[in-house]
Structure 1
């Protein structure tokens, strides 16, 4: 627990400093005013956001109760779903940092507030937002005190299971896995723009194989959003949009924390289905190998680059640090601790028959300068299906 939260739990609801404690304090005021019903709707961009919000609020409230700062009835109020709800939501809109390119265009067109301000904390702030016109907000319709007609503003209101299905569709199949494939490949192949990267035929074909061929057959259709149409829109309109100037390097951040969800869930579906076999996957294992190649921090031209932040870099990079492009090496000795790590992939990749596959792709990718591109071309030539 963060020290700021510990302090807020110790000091009680009167003068909270952390945002979550402030929210809990507001709920305590509502409780004292008459135990009025309330929906606390999280639109944080991660899975199970409502449940995480509920856990956070209850952690603080229960800490206050334990310290004798609030009555037990307040905790009961928060746990009464007829009084207080924590709806789930799935939010999807790609919104990178303010772009210098957009800023320059606004300046040229005579707009006054075109500047981007860079804070000491490395946050970029501007009066404009460069984002995409496409957006989705799927919300669990659980509002004990009523709600506005959100559906008239394009919000999809549905039940909890459907929100979960929509979230899994996006995070494990139709968007996030494609993003990560572009992130690690783009960093190695010298791209600094997602829009430019998807104009590359190999990159576009790669994400199509991951989305349409390997992921789509095992995704649960949430019904409120058509998964195939979602991918169609992503690859044909959203990712190629130059006015949403996203970068592979941004998406590559914290990849070790993302792989178990973005690929591990699809792999699990292949394990669970008796008619499927994880060894039928070709492009997901290729991306996992590419991420291991990324950890070397040497691009496909043999030049060093700065990897994006990741909490496991200091642990993982030493395992591949002494590999030299074009030199014979014991790939298994270097990768066995990585590929068997269930924390990273959600699976021991050797136990499910993918460890050796990933090793084979990695061995090809370190065979020399240009080998990442060559391995991708060869894999597409051998396994890609017509879309």
Structure 2
């Protein structure tokens, strides 16, 4: 019989399901996490759950928080199950389920962030961690710098008494701590952004510049923003995953998390007010986070983008099916080997070719059930972070960009909103309203898509890139994705 997930029912769950070995009432919150999504619950929460199971650092439990509608939905799903989550690791023939209990509460989600500011009056909360997506940092995509004119920033600068953006919330809480003579919390970004700690600091301090220069100086001088690299493939949850969980493990969980077995967390050790002993759970602390981070963003996240758009245009839904397609897999292998990996600087203790082979095996895992629409979403934020930096590096070195230009052309063709077979699909991107018209105009004039300068920046000015992009896009419209990929693999594009 299926059991609803909650503390009272833990004892009734199958013996095949791992359960917390600690008493929940012994936990105390030390981290407030903003953006409680699938990745956070499959990553940071799992590391902490491991630590608590070992009887360590029980005063570093999680308090959930959020300011978006999706955060409210997550809170409503988790509250009746006492904030517990079922995490299922997916390895073919060896699926493993565990219930994690590292989160012990969730701040009410309102239209503004005053409840979070109030919660952060508790000085036991010494870390605020973030997973607010790549697009949540108010960055100008073309420059990679903080954008003080972003609407969320402009609003919060004028409404610091009731901020509704994550950085307004953080600044209001830090201001209160400063004014009351209490130690600031550490801000720990866990998002896939180069130098994510520095980017978070630029956003908080940049907002402070608009409000109070002395507060901006306080943020820059007194608040820690450690850089990090995080990695675990975690698909979106659907009824498919809920059904699998009930059929295989007998658990009824409103929002379970399915993920690959692999996980990695590399952190800069910059926590002035303390931190949990995450190294005991496998976290790597190193001053070389940037090297790991760049490797992952270029090879893994860039690899995701590489397969997403040709697979989407071919009507392929699952990532493992895309990896089984010889043309899509061939495109990935060639682009990584010839244009992406050569741009990645050495990483201490890592063989980049072996790292890529690991990535390819992870992509091909059929049990994960990761989807092409998930990889393809939010391209206007992801392209400038995952693909265009490699393009820019190769152009600066005078190297060829045939494959990278083809990737950009595939994204442009995907933004037109139809598959090669003419089937329409939803373009899941905050800038879809301007991407689609630009992509359709590019069918006749490829350069019109490159006029999205906030995305392409100076890459759009490079004659070699423009020529390669134009050739690839014309081929995609004229001959289709398969023929274009085949030409690239044959070396005739």
Distance 1:365 1:138, change over 3 A: same
**In structure 2, distance between residues paired with 1:86 and 1:320:** 38
Report the CA distance between 1:129 and its aligned residue: 0.6
**Among candidates 272, 290, 293, match of residue 164 of structure 1:** 290
Taking structure 1 as reference, are residues 100 and 351 closer, same or farther at Cα in structure 2, changes over 3 Å only?
Answer: same
2:364 to 231, 235, 240: 240
Quick one: distance in 1 between partners of 2:402 and 2:210? Answer: 49
In structure 2, the CA distance between the partners of 1:109 and 1:347, relative to structure 1 (3 Å rule), is same
Matches within 5 A, 1:1-387: 1-2=151-152, 5-6=156-157, 8-9=159-160, 11=161, 19-28=166-175, 30-31=177-178, 34-36=181-183, 38-58=185-205, 65=212, 72=214, 76-80=217-221, 83-114=222-253, 116=254, 126=255, 128-159=256-287, 162-171=288-297, 173-223=298-348, 225-236=350-361, 238-273=362-397, 276-277=398-399, 280-301=400-421, 303-319=422-438, 321=440, 333-339=444-450, 341-349=452-460, 351-368=462-479, 371-382=480-491
> Deviations along 1:70-89, whole A, 9 cap, x unmatched?
xx5x6554332xx4311111
Give the TM-score, by structure 2 length.
0.62
Structure in which a larger fraction of residues adopt strand: 2
**What is the CA–CA distance in structure 1 between the aligned matches of 2:165 and 2:484, rounded to whole Å?**
49
Distance 1:16 1:135, change over 3 A: same
Task: Indicate conservation of the 8 Å contact 1:24/1:61, yes or no.
Answer: yes
SS of residue matched to 1:366 = helix
TM-score, length-scaled by structure 1: 0.77
| Residue equivalent to 2:27 | none
CA distance in 2, matches of 1:367, 1:147: 56
The question of whether the paired residues in 1 share the 8 Å contact of 2:292 and 2:347 is answered with yes
CA distance in 2, matches of 1:317, 1:198: 27
Cα distance in 2 between the residues matched to 1:340 and 1:348: 11
Asked if 2 retains the 8 angstrom alpha-carbon contact of 1:138 and 1:156, the reply is yes
Inter-CA distance 258–44: structure 2 relative to 1 (3 Å threshold) = closer
Deviations 1:14-48 (A, max 9, x none): x7666544444543454456543653222233233
Aligned length: 342
Question: Aligned to 2:416, what secondary structure does the other structure show?
Answer: coil
Cα gap change, 1:57/1:350 in structure 2, threshold over 3 Å: closer, same or farther? closer
Decide which moves more: 54-63 or 251-260.
54-63
Structure 1 runs of 4+ with >6 Å offset: none
| 1:137 match: secondary structure | strand
Q: How far is the alpha carbon of 1:93 from its aligned partner?
A: 1.6
Q: Which runs of 5+ in 2 are unaligned?
A: 1-150
Question: Counterparts of 1:98 and 1:334 in 2: how far apart (Å)?
Answer: 39
Distance in 2 of aligned mates of 1:110 and 1:176: 32
Distance 1:354 1:242, change over 3 A: same
Q: Secondary structure at the match of 2:267?
A: strand
- Alignment RMSD, CA only? 3.0
